[in-house]
Amino acid sequence: MPLRIWESIKNKIVSKKIKVLFYNKFWDKDFPDYNVIGIPDFHFFYEQECIQDADVVVFHIPSLEVDPQRLKALKKEGQVWVYWSFECELHYPEFEQNEIRSLFDIKVTYKTDADIHVSYLAQYRLFPWKMEPAAKTGFINAFFSSSWDKSGRYDYLGEIMSYVNVDSYGKIMNNRGREGGDPYPGYATEEAGHYKTAAISRYKFTLAFENAISKDYVTEKFYQPLLAGSVPVYLGAPNVDEFAPGDNCYINVNSFSSAKELAGYLKFLDSHDDLYSEFLAWKEKPLRVEFENKLHSYDMFERFIAIVRKKFTK
């Protein structure tokens, strides 16, 4: 078959499908080729300049380098726009203005009431939550490297470090590297993940401070120490208990009037192993039903396809 005839046929096939444009990359990750999945009534593409050809446009808000006001001129009548972000909206207030928010028809975020709820917990659904904790040789650790701080976490970190020893492995207030002197290898690589998990498993407590404080914004900072058998000392979402795998498995910074009081409590637990062990007892009990439901929620991409398809079904 001549190429020009094939191109004509292919274009007619595509024109009958729901055309989805991923406008910008999710951080620095390459676009997956969703077309290989073979969803019959969908066609995915990634060329920004073809935005007027799209039925659906997906914007990854954290890495979107477009002035929000300019977006208004880009939207074609009848298009469905998707706001996609795992991060807290407090970092992107310019997208929270009513006139900008109204441009988006579907919101994919960490909020439990979003059109599609994106849970940080989902990435840990196959992990061994009941794994026996390792022996503890360290007291308190911290892994902070990002400059993002809408929660006041770095002021609090500095204050608590004035009262108690904290082994800080990240770029922020660093005082520890790998054994042997090598620095911690960052936070966005598989190697870093393995190293971090092994390190925090040896500590009684892990400072788990979110970069922003908002309802439902519970990230890997809370889950990683729980998995590794360390007790999270948590600063973040006011409803964090709704995301906990069991009772009495973390310490909430907001339960204390000051960093000094919190430091005193941690030192007290450090000298009373019987009381400390109560914070690990959840691993010997069934996981909370609500936690299990969050852990095994159905696939996010499937939900996205279902919602978009429904919008275009007449």
CATH number at residue 240: 3.40.50.11660
Angle at 201 between CA 198 and CA 202, to 5 degrees: 100
Interatomic CA distance for residues 203 and 139, integer angstroms: 5
Identify whether residues 224 and 130 lie together within a single domain. Answer: yes
Answer for the pair 177, 184: CB distance below 8 angstroms, yes or no: yes
Q: What is the pLDDT of residue 12?
A: 45
Q: Pick out the chain residues at pLDDT < 70.
A: 1-15, 177-193, 298, 314
- Give the Å distances, CA to CA, from 178 to 68, 77, 208, 226: 42, 55, 20, 22
Q: In whole angstroms, what is the distance from residue 44 CA to residue 21 CA?
A: 6
- Regarding whether 155 and 268 lie in a shared domain, the answer is yes
Nearest to 279 by CA among 289, 292, 270, 291: 270
**pLDDT value, residue 264:** 98
pLDDT at 13: 44
- Domains in the chain: how many in total? 2
Structural domain that includes position 289: 122-295
Based on the fold, state whether residues 75 and 136 are members of the same structural domain. Answer: no
Same domain, 290 and 302: no
Same domain, 56 and 176: no
Q: What is the pLDDT of residue 130?
A: 92
Same domain for 35 and 66? Answer: yes
Domain identity same for 132 and 114: no
Q: What is the pLDDT of residue 6?
A: 43
- Contact between residue 283 and residue 129 where contact means Cβ atoms under 8 Å apart: yes
Residue 62 and residue 195 in one domain: no
CA distance 241 to 217: 12
CATH of the domain at 90: 3.40.50
The answer to whether residues 88 and 173 belong to one domain is no
91 lies in the same domain as 137 = no
Are residue 107 and residue 135 in the same domain, yes or no?
no
Q: Specify whether the CB–CB gap between 223 and 236 falls below 8 A.
A: no
Let me know whether 244 and 203 are in one domain: yes
Taking the model in full, what pTM does it have? Answer: 0.89
